[in-house]
Amino acid sequence: MNRFISTRPQPALLHPGFASGLEAALRVARAPAQHKLMQIGDMGGAKKPYALIDGIAVIGVQGVLIDKLGWWGSDYVTGYDCLRWQIAAAHEDADVRGIVLDIDSCGGTVAGCFDLCDFAVDAKRQTGKPVVAILTENAFSAAMALASTADSIAVPRTGGVGSIGVVTMHWDISGLLEKYGEKVTVIAAGAHKADGNPYGPLPEDVLARLSAEVEDLRQLFAATVVRNRAGAPNAPTLDGVLATEARTYSGPAELAEALQLGLADAILAPADAFAAFAAHVNAA
C-alpha cells in the first residue's frame, strides 16, 4: 500500500504528503476546540496529559512539529510547548516509572526544537526515569532530534529515520508577477531589511549567507544527536552523522545501515517494542 506517491521517504518540507499534512495541521490550529483539542494545563476530564499504561506514560509526537501551539491531543500537529509540558509532568508523576515517546512525524520547525531536546535530556538526567522512542512509522528531521533524546530508539521495518539536516526555500515570483503585468517595489530601510523577499531573484551574497546559516544549523543538529546518543550501544560519531548528508533510511536494508550508524537501536514492531519496555520497567 502506498500512503504517499513517492519514490522514497523525505523530510517534512520536501515530502509529497507534507502539504496535505500541513493543511490538516492548519485546520486544527485554527480551530483547536472544534477538533477536540485541549489547552495546555487543561486535562479536559482526563487524569493526566498522556496515556498511562502499565506505569508508562505514552507521549505522542505526531504530525507537523511547531514551536508554539498551546493545545494538545492532535495526530496532525504537535507543539514543542505541549511536549515540554507533558515531559515535565511525566517526570514529576510518581505513578510513572517509564516514558515512551510515540513518534510518527516527518519533522517540523527549527525554532524551539533544540531547546526542547536540551530540556528532555536534562529532565531524564534529573529523575533517572527511563525513556524510549517507539516509532509508529517515521522519525525524520526534527522528529529525529526528539527521538535522539531517548535512551533507545525502536523503528518498525516499514518505518524510517534520519534526515539530519536543515532545509529552507526562497520563492522568486517576479516572473509570475511580470506575466500578469504586476510590479512590486520593495522599499526598505537597512541594506538587509528585505533580504530573501520573493519579489525578485535571490542575490548571491544573500544566498551565501542563508546557505551558511542552514549549514550552521545542520552542524548543531548533528552535534545534538551525537550528544544525546552518546550512551547508546552503538553510539553515532559526528563524522558519521554528517556523512549521511541528511539522508533518510527506510526499509529493512536501509534500517540495518541506520542501526550500524547508531541512528536507531532495534527494528521492532511498536507493540513488541512497548511490551519489551514494559517488562523491563516493571521488572526493575
DSSP code per residue over 113-165: HHHHHHHHHHHHHHH---EEEEEEEEEETHHHHHHTTSSEEEE-TT-EEE--S
Do residues 138 and 105 lie in contact, with contact meaning Cβ atoms separated by under 8 Å?
Answer: yes
Q: For residues 99 and 219, what is the distance between their CA atoms, to the nearest angstrom?
A: 28
pLDDT digits (tens, 9 = 90+) for 28-58: 666 566 655 666 666 666 688 999 999 999 9
Q: Rounded to whole angstroms, how far apart are CA atoms 157 and 252?
A: 6
**C-alpha to C-alpha distances, 68 to 42, 78, 105, 116, 214, nearest whole angstrom:** 16, 9, 17, 12, 21
Q: Which residues contact 68 (CB under 8 A, 6 or more apart)?
A: 79, 80, 81, 112
Dihedral sign (CA 67, 70, 74, 76): negative
Q: For 99-158, what is each residue's pLDDT tens digit?
A: 999 999 999 999 999 999 999 999 999 999 999 999 999 999 999 999 999 999 999 999
The catalytic site residues sit at 141, 193
Q: Which residues contact 211 (CB under 8 A, 6 or more apart)?
A: none
Cell numbers standing for residue 28: 486544527
pLDDT digit string (tens) for 253-266?
999 999 999 999 99
**Amino acid 75: pLDDT:** 74
Domains of the chain, each with CATH number or no CATH: 12-165+234-279 (3.90.226.10)
Instruction: Give the number of C-alpha atoms closer than 13 A to the C-alpha of residue 5, restricted to the C-beta side.
Output: 2
The pLDDT, as a whole number, for residue 174 is 93
